[in-house]
Amino acid sequence: MHEMGMVLNIVREAEKQAQMYHVNKIASLTLEVGELTGAEPRYIRNCWPAATENTILDGAELIIKEVEGLVTCNDCKFVYRVLEHMTSDLRPDCPKCHSEKWTLKQGRQLMIDEIGVIDEQGDQ
């Protein structure tokens, strides 16, 4: 299980961004999780409370946006969901032309999409 390391990286990244924008409390964090990262959203959620304890993210809501793993066929340019179209030895297999040449389009990212902040100096 490597989710804990991933979550700790996200926490550090969020702290850096918060510092940059002089934010001292984060209300929510939206995380893009690509299905090709191998990270399980439910494990990420399990790690979240411990990973954020005593950080700027303590108590912040975690919102996970799952991103499908998509590749583009190099031969016919068809875009398909790679986990649904694999050869028996787990290589991408284009459903249109059965080419095994492909380029990753999305799905390997694990990154912060949005940070929701509480403006403590603001008078609403």
User: Residue 47: which H helix or E strand, with range?
Assistant: helix 41-52
**2, 12, 65, 96: which one contacts Zn ion (CB under 5 A)?**
96
Regarding 31 and contact with Zn ion (CB under 5 A), the answer is: no
Q: Which is nearer to Zn ion, 96 or 108 (CB)?
A: 96
Regarding 70 and contact with Zn ion (CB under 5 A), the answer is: no
3-class state of residue 108 by DSSP: coil
Closest separation between CB of residue 102 and Zn ion, Å? 8
CB count in 10 Å sphere of residue 124: 3
Report, in angstroms and rounded to the nearest whole number, the Rg of the chain calculated over CA atoms.
18
**1, 50, 86, 97: which one contacts Zn ion (CB under 5 A)?**
97
- Which residue is it, tokens 């999409």? 113
Regarding 17 and contact with Zn ion (CB under 5 A), the answer is: no
